[in-house]
């Protein structure tokens, strides 16, 4: 079968046809009349869900778009049949002559018609069998029927049909591209939502594990305390004392505990001062994060602020860490517009005799100043490491 004709190809538009009948229909629709035999079979892709055959990948994609069916079976080799162009053309002439093709050995006899009239019809572009049928049906009068289209009109019509088909294919390709882009966006959103859900579940699992760990620690401490109490009662019994302490013993223990607590309180440092601006520091960071869609710029700004606060808190006596020039191009490129308000809330302030963009720390490294800078650093650390910072 490799050397036998399996299809016909229109040399005018490269359309592949699987029979002479299809070639005739193609020629009548487009005005094309040049066909060649081909050993390449017409592609046949059959939908396994509805048995719809498709000849091209474009037809397959359009069928999938309209029905949602995605599984196709390639039956090209099974459906390929060797064709005899001459025999099929003979059958077609017999059908046009009205003799039918039920009998395999039908004798095809062409009706006698006016030869000159037939030649004139062929010169005007009519196929011979159509001209014979027209003259035979008109009684061989020889009158030349006027064709519905001149050759020029037929060519123009064929060009128009080809242009329409080309535009249709372009529109279909654009529609397929649009659908593919929608599917890509939808898949991206689903992946992002799945990632967020996984992060939330991971956080919940971590919190639950921490809660269970604390509960287990509490129970362990309770068991140790009970064991110590039991051991204490056993020692008292061995010493000939009552299992439980007497009121006098309890009072002595309370007095001893109070004295110990007073001694420890005297050793402890005074509590750090209350930082009233902690909430404001967080609100400023949330505002900067929500005020821009550039996540990289937000991260860079927060990292820079954290370095500035950390340097000043860790080395309060270093003058270069206590003075900031916000007009410096390198520093300005790393900070967002609202960063100055955050620095002022963390303790920096404008100083007399300095430029407009210069801020200094006026506290001379006092404990309150260090605590304020530390609080600002904690808020920045939370903003950089907590994925839900500012989301609620």
Task: Return the pLDDT at 110.
Answer: 62
Task: Return the pLDDT at 138.
Answer: 62
CA angle 346–348–354, rounded 5-degree value? 165
The mean pLDDT of 196-223, rounded to a whole number, is: 92
Pairwise CA distance, residues 171 & 105, whole Å: 49
The mean pLDDT of 200-221, rounded to a whole number, is: 92
- Mean pLDDT across the chain, nearest whole number? 80
Lowest-pLDDT range of 97-101, 201-205, 309-313, 324-328: 97-101
Pairwise CA distance, residues 30 & 25, whole Å: 9
Domain boundaries along the sequence of the chain? 7-148, 154-267, 278-385
Indicate if the pLDDT at residue 312 is higher than 90: no
Please count the CA atoms within 13 angstroms of the CA of 383 that sit on its side-chain side: 27
Task: Return the pLDDT at 151.
Answer: 79
| Cβ-based neighbour number of residue 376 at 10 Å | 30
Indicate if the pLDDT at residue 78 is higher than 90: no
Task: Return the pLDDT at 81.
Answer: 77
For residue range 124-172, what is the model confidence (pLDDT) as tens digits?
766 677 677 666 666 554 544 445 567 787 778 778 888 888 899 999 9
Task: Return the pLDDT at 218.
Answer: 93
The mean pLDDT of 89-93, rounded to a whole number, is: 69
- Beta bridge partners, 46, equal 53, 73
Task: Return the pLDDT at 160.
Answer: 85
Confidence of residue 304 (pLDDT cuts 50, 70, 90): very high
C-beta of residue 227 within 8 angstroms of C-beta of residue 221: no
The b-or-e profile of 116-128 (16+ CB within 10 A means b, else e) is ebbeebeeebbbe
Strands of 195-314, DSSP E: none
| Cβ-based neighbour number of residue 378 at 10 Å | 16
- The 8-class DSSP code of residue 133 comes to H
Torsion sign over Cα 169, 171, 172, 173? positive
Strands of the chain, DSSP E: 7-10, 16-17, 35-38, 45-47, 53-54, 72-74, 323-325, 349-350, 358-360
- Closest of 312, 300, 318, 299 to residue 348, by C-alpha: 312
For residue range 347-379, what is the model confidence (pLDDT) as tens digits?
888 877 777 788 888 877 778 888 888 888 888
Query: CATH for 278-385?
Result: 1.20.58.2190
Indicate if the pLDDT at residue 325 is higher than 60: yes
Pairwise CA distance, residues 347 & 277, whole Å: 10
Residue with the larger pLDDT of the pair 135 and 225: 225
Indicate if the pLDDT at residue 179 is higher than 80: yes
Indicate if the pLDDT at residue 238 is higher than 70: yes
Residue with the larger pLDDT of the pair 62 and 108: 62
Confidence of residue 215 (pLDDT cuts 50, 70, 90): very high
Task: Return the pLDDT at 259.
Answer: 87
Residues 6+ apart with CB under 8 A from 326: 332, 335, 340, 357, 358, 359
Task: Return the pLDDT at 86.
Answer: 66
């Amino acid at each position: 079968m490799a050397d036998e004709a399996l299809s016909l190809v229109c040399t005018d538009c490269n359309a592949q046809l699987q029979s002479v009948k299809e070639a005739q229909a193609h020629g009548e629709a487009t005005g094309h009349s040049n066909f060649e035999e081909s050993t390449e079979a017409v592609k046949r892709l059959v939908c396994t869900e509805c048995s719809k055959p498709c000849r091209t990948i474009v037809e397959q994609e359009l069928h999938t778009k309209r029905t949602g069916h995605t599984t196709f079976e390639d039956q090209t080799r099974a459906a390929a049949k060797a064709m005899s162009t001459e025999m099929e053309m003979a059958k077609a002439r017999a059908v046009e002559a009205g003799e039918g093709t039920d009998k395999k050995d039908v004798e095809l006899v062409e009706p006698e018609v006016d030869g000159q009239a037939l030649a004139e019809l062929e010169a005007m572009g009519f196929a011979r069998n159509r001209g014979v049928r027209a003259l035979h049906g008109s009684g061989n009068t020889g009158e030349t029927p006027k064709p519905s289209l001149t050759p020029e009109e037929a060519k123009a019509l064929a060009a128009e049909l080809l242009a329409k088909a080309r535009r249709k294919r372009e529109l279909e390709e654009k529609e397929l591209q649009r659908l593919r882009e929608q599917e890509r966006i939808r898949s991206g959103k689903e992946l992002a939502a799945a990632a967020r859900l996984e992060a939330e579940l991971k956080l919940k699992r971590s919190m639950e594990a921490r809660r269970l760990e604390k509960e287990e620690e509490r129970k362990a401490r309770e068991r140790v305390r009970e064991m110590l109490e039991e051991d204490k009662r056993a020692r008292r019994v061995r010493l000939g004392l009552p299992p439980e302490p007497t009121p006098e013993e309890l009072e002595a223990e309370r007095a001893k505990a109070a004295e110990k607590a007073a001694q420890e309180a005297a050793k402890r440092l005074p509590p750090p001062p209350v930082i009233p601006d902690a909430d404001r520091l967080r609100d400023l960071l949330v505002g900067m994060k929500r005020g821009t869609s550039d996540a990289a710029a937000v991260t860079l700004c927060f990292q820079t602020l954290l370095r500035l606060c950390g340097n000043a808190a860790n080395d309060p006596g270093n003058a270069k860490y206590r003075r900031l020039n916000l007009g410096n191009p390198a520093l300005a490129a790393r900070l967002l517009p609202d960063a100055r308000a955050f620095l002022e809330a963390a303790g920096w302030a404008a100083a007399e005799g300095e430029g407009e963009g210069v801020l200094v720390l006026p506290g001379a490294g006092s404990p309150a100043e260090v605590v304020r800078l530390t609080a600002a650093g904690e808020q920045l650390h939370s903003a950089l490491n907590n994925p839900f910072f500012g989301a609620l």
